[in-house]
Structure 1
Amino acid sequence: MTETKARTRGRVRAAFAEAGVTGWLHAVDIDSGAQLDAGADQPVVTASVHKLCLLVALHQQAEAGRLDLSEQTTCPPRDRTPGPTGLAAMLDDVRLSLRDAAYLMMAVSDNTAADLILERVGLDAVNRTTWRLGLTGTHAVHTFREFLTLLKEDTGPGGPQALTDPRVIAGLRVLDPAATNHSTPRDMTRLLAAIWRDEACAPEHTAAMRRLLGLQVWPHRLASGFPFDDVHVAGKTGSLPTVRNEVGVVEYPDGGRYAVAVFTRASSTAAVLPPADAVIGTAARIAVDALRACRG
């Protein structure tokens, strides 16, 4: 197994290099505990992947009776966190439940929906959740509105166009794990495994979380590595200038379940970089294939 791990790690790193990214990966067989890594304990910027931690905190609060997932909240346009999807892109007043806000947060990575939930749950509760689950390398520093404000401040007067300038990129605090919401690949697979093993919450809540992760609409990263009708991929992406991430679970028809976390930084500042997206699926497939081979 040690030799297999070394070969797999080499293949993963070669795939990252060919795609023009630096990458970090952890993959684990949820049932046997067998694992593979390539920089699994590297501190990484989570970006929208941190919405998974918020989702767990929301359901833990509901399980404890501190809130009702059917609670209604109203969101007028003036209070919305910027973003290209969901509530952030809508023009009129919206009223919806916390559980429906969670759907938008996970399925289309809606920043406004995430901040609506954060207003009800609180940042401290998110950090208590990750601490209780043993995710010692994971911490939420700010809300998504604060996160985007920080990005705007550091981008300066050049606006979004300045994000193609490597000098501007180098000064972004949101790309520094020490200054923003952060985790490690190993922490994220541990969190996913806790959800899939019904350890993060009561089964009714973990089932609800698994459902939402399975409704994510983006197929171009993790899911691209598993183009099979009978293999189910559930996950959460995260994106920033030069950063492309995804964490998720790959389920095979024979019952195999594999939690995978892939975090990347591209050398190119291009906003559209298909090889950097696709290598997340490629690296995940290499790791999962190796874990499945070890199953015999």
Structure 2
Amino acid sequence: MMRRSQRSTRRLPRRAAIGRRSFAATTRGLEELADAGAHVAVHVIDLDSGSQVLAGDDHLTLPIAGLGVVPLLIEVASGFESGALDPLEIVDRASTDAVAASGLWRSLRAPALPLSDLAVLAAAVGDPIAVNILLEQVGLDRVRERIAALGMPQTAVLDRFRDERGLDDAPQVAVGTARELAGLFSALVNSRAVDAAVSAQVAEWLSLNQDLSLVAASTGLDPFAHDHDAHGLLFINKTGRDRGVRAEAGVLAGPRSGVAYAMIVGFDDLSIAHRLRVHDAFRVLGVELMEYAH
């Protein structure tokens, strides 16, 4: 069970850029979740000024599930660029343990795919088998070194995806803070995640992400084709989902301004109603981000 942090019993601070919306509805929704016992964290950065727009318990290290794929993709893209990894190397699905709980590749007829296609599957649908193979190719140690080099001391990829977690397994796939994750997405769109080439490649992969059901639900974007929006909306994101965990980080930029954001909620997933309240909080943030950018 996840409860409000003992380190912070205050309500979420209201901090907003001068002349912008206060994100009052988002703050109110997160306060209600925190009062109900959830762990909540949010961080929003203005891409133009680099200033903090919204923050609440953004220092807390919380489970982030599939959001840990992003630093893995950065390490994979760096390996492609340096030649340490061959993007056309074919890897067989049977080379790793099956993960039956989710994913797309397990339903495809192709038993083997190149590493570059696995990166697309990992970014677009969070495919757990593709993620596990990429993690085996680069190794946990290199991903952890990459995270350290990116200046994210409170973020960690702990383990592969598994159907069941035993006593000897890490309790989570990945953990992180809202502050570090929002900063990572800011670095990606500003070509500072390793270098311009790696940043561009990872941003391109993430632009294919089809999970637009949380923050992105308020954008009205087509989940299957949103990398060239007719209204000039730039959007990339990655979500993380597990029992009692919802997390999302991304970038949303419109005609007026742009933001990098991250929000994490850990909650008691006791009913569909509990889950829907959490999803509603993400969508409210999406509405206020859209108003900020437009």
Q: Single out whichever of 17-26 and 35-44 deviates more from structure 2.
A: 17-26
- Residue in structure 2 matched with residue 5 of structure 1 by the alignment: 16
- Residue in structure 2 matched with residue 224 of structure 1 by the alignment: 217
Matched residue SS, 2:200: helix
1:251 CA drift (Å) = 1.8
Q: Deviations over 1:209-252 (max 9, x none)?
A: 11221111122102113236622321111111121111111121
Aligned residues: 264
C-alpha RMSD over aligned residues: 2.9
Change (3 A) 1:78 1:105: closer
The 8 Å contact of residues 83 and 112 in structure 1, kept in 2 or not, is answered as no
How do residues 87-102 of structure 1 correspond to structure 2 at under 5 angstroms?
87-90=105-108, 92=109, 94-102=111-119
- Residue in structure 2 matched with residue 39 of structure 1 by the alignment: 57
1:288 CA drift (Å) = 6.4
Distance 1:285 1:27 in 2: 14
Paired AA for residue 262 in structure 1: M
- Residue in structure 1 matched with residue 245 of structure 2 by the alignment: 243
- Residue in structure 1 matched with residue 121 of structure 2 by the alignment: 104
1:75 CA drift (Å) = 1.3
1:278 CA drift (Å) = 3.1
The 8 Å contact of residues 207 and 236 in structure 2, kept in 1 or not, is answered as yes
Distance 2:14 2:195 in 1: 39
Change (3 A) 1:285 1:37: farther
Distance 1:253 1:97 in 2: 38
1:186 CA drift (Å) = 0.7
Distance 1:4 1:50 in 2: 27
Higher helix proportion: 1
- Residue in structure 2 matched with residue 144 of structure 1 by the alignment: 161
Paired AA for residue 143 in structure 1: R
Matched residue SS, 2:41: strand
Which portions of structure 1, spanning 4 or more consecutive aligned residues, are displaced by more than 6 angstroms?
A: none
Q: Which runs of 5+ in 2 are unaligned?
A: 1-12, 222-228
Select the residue among 177, 201, 209 that pairs with 1:208: 201
The 8 Å contact of residues 40 and 266 in structure 2, kept in 1 or not, is answered as yes
Select the residue among 162, 170, 174 that pairs with 1:181: 174
Change (3 A) 1:122 1:28: same
The 8 Å contact of residues 16 and 283 in structure 1, kept in 2 or not, is answered as no
The 8 Å contact of residues 188 and 261 in structure 1, kept in 2 or not, is answered as yes
Select the residue among 86, 100, 103 that pairs with 2:104: 86
Determine what percentage of the aligned residue pairs are the same residue.
Answer: 23
The 8 Å contact of residues 24 and 42 in structure 1, kept in 2 or not, is answered as yes
Q: What is the TM-score normalised by the length of structure 2?
A: 0.79
Paired AA for residue 174 in structure 1: P
Q: Deviations over 1:235-272 (max 9, x none)?
A: 11111112111111112134x33111010123442367
The answer to whether the aligner puts 1:130 opposite 2:141 as a matched pair is: no
Distance 2:143 2:215 in 1: 25
Distance 1:51 1:72 in 2: 20
Change (3 A) 1:271 1:51: farther
Distance 1:188 1:22 in 2: 16
Q: What is the TM-score normalised by the length of structure 1?
A: 0.79
Distance 2:272 2:135 in 1: 28
